Amino acid sequence: MAVTHLSGSNGRIEFTLDGLTFRRTRSAAAARGVGRLHQVGWSAIDRATVTSSATGKPVLEIQVVGAAPVERRKHDPHALKLKRGMGDEARGFADLVNHEVATRRRWQSAAAVDA
């Protein structure tokens, strides 16, 4: 079964019908300049990638169209640092997000051709 949510050291990300929902503590949300509950619609998501932090922990990064660049990943409202052993879950989640984004793009492309 596909992983539809991930809990990290600074919050949680959930896969929903409307997009991705980020849930953060008050301090983590304030550091990133977003609300504790932060939603990103599918139309705004470009792709998801998994990278590593300086300490070797997996970090799920969601690239959002039109999002301002951040100086440090620590302040990125669309990134979630995970526990060290969660690399496989992070890659599975990123694959699920990328598949959903690609599917929606194909639907939009087909609808534009039919119009």
What is the average per-residue pLDDT within 92-115? 89
- Is the pLDDT score of 45 beyond 80? yes
Give the span between the Cα atoms of 58 and 67, in whole angstroms.
22
Percent of the chain, pLDDT > 90? 69
pTM of the model: 0.89
Would you give the distance in Å from CA 51 to the centre of its chain?
12
For residue 75, pLDDT over 90 is answered with no
61, pLDDT greater than 80: yes
Q: For residue 115, is pLDDT > 80?
A: no
Share of the chain above pLDDT 70, in %: 97
DSSP 30-49: HHHTS-SEEEEEGGGEEEEE
Rounded CA-CA distance 13/51 in Å is 16
